[in-house]
């Protein structure tokens, strides 16, 4: 995240406290655990972490402006601190996204205003399949200083600065604030404000792509008056052609997949199976081999030597769903947080489907999990068998399986430490002493 711009003094008599409220976003988050090296199919394991100490930027700005009223000063004497609704709004230039492309796309945001402003703030919520490009310095968000720039200059530098965060106040939420440490007014009532670099996943739904804008406020120089705008929707576009990566772990030989387009024939060295249901005993999941992959259909993959390659195809938007199913398999078209069902992992004993058992997993887009009928959903794990009998075997009950102890991030250990939480036989265990 870029360093916040702290405002010390102003040259216009505007209360410093209010300007600070426009630029500072204080937060404390818990980082997600990294993917264990033995994990085959799951991107991230989360242990019910929650965002804490995230200050609501919009509410804080309003409360601090109210405080300015109460403590006095020229702004309070002139009145008018409560938000005023306005029909001003923002737009974006036309952008066409190609799902799965390695390209980054510039989204230019423009103001359509009716008065002179000195500062603004907004939240933009992105849909599944579109993300803001982020690096070690934070989101790729820049003040627009090209043709039509409406920010004033002083000593050949822009008077305004912008701060941003992505995914802090909520999943796929971009929070923006722009102020001037000189409380300088924009040079025009309308014009380009900023640019945002975005990328499109292979699983982006073709057609119109909607970005929701909320908490959009502008501030005038006089009295630091806030003008609140209506929530609105910005529209981008996505093509009906996508490119996605198909991969199978070379050491475990197994994986799962769901693609937004059909694939025929399968890549050399790759076999695919559907899991329609249980056998007559209710103890085995029957796997049926397929020779091609249907769009938006989950599969189990096998490759003796592993596989990774890019595939492309046309996408039918009418078949889109954030979660798709076929038999006992569920596929994530948009990332899914799950704490029930079975996920494919290799914890040192070969690839198996392990019960989530209340531990929250993030299923990435393009990956799958297994959902069993209630009568079979209590087993700690299901192994995989490919051979004369093609099936997922019944739960392992050997003594050796019961002796394995794993940390919550999937690492095998020999002993449990007091106060630690471990997974034993697919169950979370708290070692008290």
Per-residue pLDDT of 351-368, as tens digits, reads: 888 999 999 999 999 999
Q: Are residues 190 and 282 in the same domain?
A: no
- Across the range 195-218, mean pLDDT stands at 98
Instruction: Report long-range pairs for 372-375 (Cβ below 8 Å, ≥24 apart).
Output: 372/285, 372/328, 372/341, 372/342, 373/278, 375/282
3-state helix, strand, coil in the chain (%, to 5): 10, 40, 50
* Backbone torsions φ then ψ of 16, nearest 5 degrees: -60, -40
Residue 193 clears pLDDT 80, i.e. is over it: yes
Residue 191: give the domain boundaries. Answer: 16-38+49-238
pLDDT at 408: 72
Q: Are residues 124 and 229 in the same domain?
A: yes
Q: Are residues 179 and 260 in the same domain?
A: no
Q: Are residues 222 and 195 in the same domain?
A: yes
43 in any annotated domain:
no
11 in any annotated domain:
no
Residue 235 clears pLDDT 60, i.e. is over it: yes
pLDDT at 396: 44
pLDDT at 383: 78
pLDDT, the chain, mean: 80
| Dist CA 215 CA 217 (whole Å) | 6
Q: Say what the alpha-carbon torsion angle 169, 170, 173, 178 is, to the nearest 10 degrees.
A: -10
Residue 288 clears pLDDT 80, i.e. is over it: yes
Q: Are residues 306 and 223 in the same domain?
A: no
Q: Are residues 380 and 402 in the same domain?
A: no
Residue 205 clears pLDDT 80, i.e. is over it: yes
Two structure tokens written together for 363? 């299923």
| Dist CA 199 CA 134 (whole Å) | 10
What SS3 class is residue 66?
helix
Q: Are residues 225 and 287 in the same domain?
A: no
93 in any annotated domain:
yes
* Chain segment 6-59, per-residue pLDDT in tens: 333 333 333 333 333 333 333 333 333 333 334 445 543 333 333 333 334 444
Residues 6+ apart with CB under 8 A from 4: 23, 24, 25, 163
Q: Are residues 327 and 251 in the same domain?
A: yes
pLDDT at 64: 43
387 in any annotated domain:
yes
Split into its structural domains, the chain has a count of: 3
Better pLDDT: 192 or 43: 192
pLDDT at 45: 38
Q: Say if CB 109 and CB 94 are below 8 A apart.
A: no
| Dist CA 338 CA 43 (whole Å) | 12
Instruction: Report long-range pairs for 316-321 (Cβ below 8 Å, ≥24 apart).
Output: 316/240, 317/205, 317/206, 317/207, 317/240, 319/295, 320/205, 320/206, 320/260, 320/296, 321/296
Two structure tokens written together for 174? 């971009």
Better pLDDT: 154 or 410: 154
Residue 69 clears pLDDT 60, i.e. is over it: no
Residue 185 clears pLDDT 90, i.e. is over it: yes
| Dist CA 174 CA 126 (whole Å) | 8
pLDDT at 390: 56
pTM higher than 0.85 for the full model? no
pLDDT band at 418 (very low <50, low <70, confident <90, very high): low
Residue 305 clears pLDDT 50, i.e. is over it: yes
4 in any annotated domain:
no
Q: Lowest-confidence range among 134-143, 159-168, 197-206, 351-360?
A: 351-360
pLDDT band at 417 (very low <50, low <70, confident <90, very high): confident
pLDDT at 87: 98
Q: Are residues 168 and 120 in the same domain?
A: yes
Residue 425 clears pLDDT 90, i.e. is over it: no
Q: Are residues 217 and 281 in the same domain?
A: no
**How far is the CA of 33 from the CAs of 224, 284, 369, 427, in angstroms?**
43, 33, 20, 19
- Across the range 172-196, mean pLDDT stands at 97
296 in any annotated domain:
yes
pLDDT at 81: 73
Q: Are residues 374 and 409 in the same domain?
A: no
Q: Are residues 227 and 253 in the same domain?
A: no
pLDDT at 392: 60
Task: Give the distance from CA 293 to its chain's centroid.
Answer: 27
Q: From 204, 238, 272, give the residue that closes a domain.
A: 238
């Amino acid at each position: 995240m870029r360093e916040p711009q702290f405002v010390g003094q102003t040259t216009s008599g505007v209360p410093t406290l209010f300007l600070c409220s426009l630029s500072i976003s204080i937060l404390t988050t818990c980082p997600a655990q990294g993917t264990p090296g033995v994990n085959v199919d799951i991107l991230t394991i989360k242990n019910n972490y929650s965002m804490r100490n995230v200050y609501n930027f919009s509410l804080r700005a309003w409360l601090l402006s109210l405080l300015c009223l109460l403590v006095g000063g020229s702004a309070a004497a002139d009145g008018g601190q409560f938000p005023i609704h306005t029909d001003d709004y923002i737009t974006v230039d036309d952008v066409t996204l190609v799902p799965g492309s390695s390209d980054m796309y510039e989204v230019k945001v423009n103001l359509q205003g009716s008065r002179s402003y000195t500062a603004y703030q907004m939240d933009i919520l992105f849909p599944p399949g579109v993300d803001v490009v982020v690096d070690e310095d934070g989101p790729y968000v820049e003040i627009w200083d090209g043709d039509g720039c409406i920010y004033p200059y002083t000593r050949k530098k822009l008077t305004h600065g912008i701060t941003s965060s992505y995914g802090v106040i909520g999943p796929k939420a971009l929070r923006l604030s722009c102020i001037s440490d000189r409380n300088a007014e924009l040079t025009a009532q309308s014009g380009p404000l900023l640019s945002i670099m975005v990328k499109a996943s292979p699983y982006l739904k073709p057609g119109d792509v909607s970005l929701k804008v909320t908490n959009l406020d502008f501030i005038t120089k006089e009295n630091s008056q806030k003008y609140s705008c209506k929530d609105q929707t910005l529209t981008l576009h996505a093509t009906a052609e996508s490119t996605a990566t198909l991969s199978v772990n070379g050491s475990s030989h197994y994986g799962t997949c769901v693609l937004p387009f059909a694939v025929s024939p399968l890549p050399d060295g790759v076999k695919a199976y559907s899991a329609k249901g249980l056998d007559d005993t209710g103890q085995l999941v029957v796997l049926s081999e397929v020779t091609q992959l249907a769009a938006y259909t989950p599969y189990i993959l096998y490759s003796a030597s592993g596989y990774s390659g890019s595939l492309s195809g046309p996408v039918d938007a009418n078949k889109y769903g954030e979660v798709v199913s076929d038999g006992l398999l569920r596929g994530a078209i948009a990332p899914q947080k799950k704490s029930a069902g079975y996920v494919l992992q290799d914890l040192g004993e070969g690839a198996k489907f392990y019960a989530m058992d209340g531990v929250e997993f993030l299923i990435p887009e393009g990956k799958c999990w297994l959902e069993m009928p209630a009568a079979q959903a209590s087993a700690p794990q299901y192994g995989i068998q490919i051979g004369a009998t093609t099936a997922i075997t019944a739960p392992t009950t050997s003594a050796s399986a019961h002796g394995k102890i794993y940390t919550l991030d999937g690492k095998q250990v020999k002993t449990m430490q007091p106060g630690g939480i471990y997974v034993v036989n697919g169950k979370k265990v708290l070692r008290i002493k």
